[in-house]
Amino acid sequence: MLVLCLLGIDALYLSGAIDWWWLLIPVVIYMHLLVFGAIYIQWNFYAKSYNKSVQSKQVALTFDDGPAQYTGVILDVLKKEGVHAAFFSIGKNAAANPEMVKRWHADGHLIGNHSYDHGFNFDWKSSKAMQEEINKTNEAIRQIAGVTPKLFRPPYGVTNPNLARAITRSGMHSIGWNVRSFDTTAKNKADLEARILNSLKGGDIVLLHDSQQITAEILTDLIRKAREKGFTFVRVDKLLDLRPYA
């Protein structure tokens, strides 16, 4: 479609029907497409990500960035409510908190890979450097819990060609989401809870963070109210029918 648009504009320009600045329009559109394709993981623009399931009443809770300040509290809630979730771990946090990583595994939660440093410059790295971070995180988790993750969540949910190559070469699966809680910026517990509950339709992957106090505070009510609406909770690997570990 873009090629046809370019050819059409070129033809009009060469015929004198339009001015030269019309040639900039497809360029601007294309640049926007590249940017939005990178920041919206659900588009699968650069890399295939699993963002949702077709299951009608199942929901998967996923937590990013741990082990973090509220990981223990969240694990207590999940255990009390009988829910298994997925924790996409930053490698350096796993290395610094091995007992929490062991608890993830012992409690039956999935341990995923969320890069080693989660640095602001991750998306500017080479494919080789990205792959090194993925492998370093996998090795840290393997040494602590005895399992090697196959599920990877891109930092910030941003993808690009370099990351697509790194994911493929690492033998990983990219895991996105279709319900973003925005718990890292939320201030009101009722609003956060309602936003998530109102978004649930079944087959959902919910993005949360175990670094956030507000997430720990709403979790019990969130689980119970979702169950009242007929939803059940499963691990994301079960929801997507993917093998979680190598």
Q: Which helix (H) or strand (E) holds 229?
A: none
DSSP reduced 3-state for 105: helix
- Residues 118, 209, 210, 237: which is the catalytic one? 209
The one-letter code for the residue type at 134 is: I
Distance CA 112, CA 155 (A): 12
Tokens of 183: 């718990």
Residue 204 known to be catalytic: no
Is 123 part of the annotated catalytic residue set? no
Given the residues 64, 65, 183, 210, the one annotated as active site: 64
Distance CA 86, CA 175 (A): 11
Taking the C-alpha atoms of residue 82 and residue 111, their distance in angstroms, rounded to an integer, is 17
221: closest CA among 185, 178, 191?
Answer: 191
Residues designated as active site: 64, 209
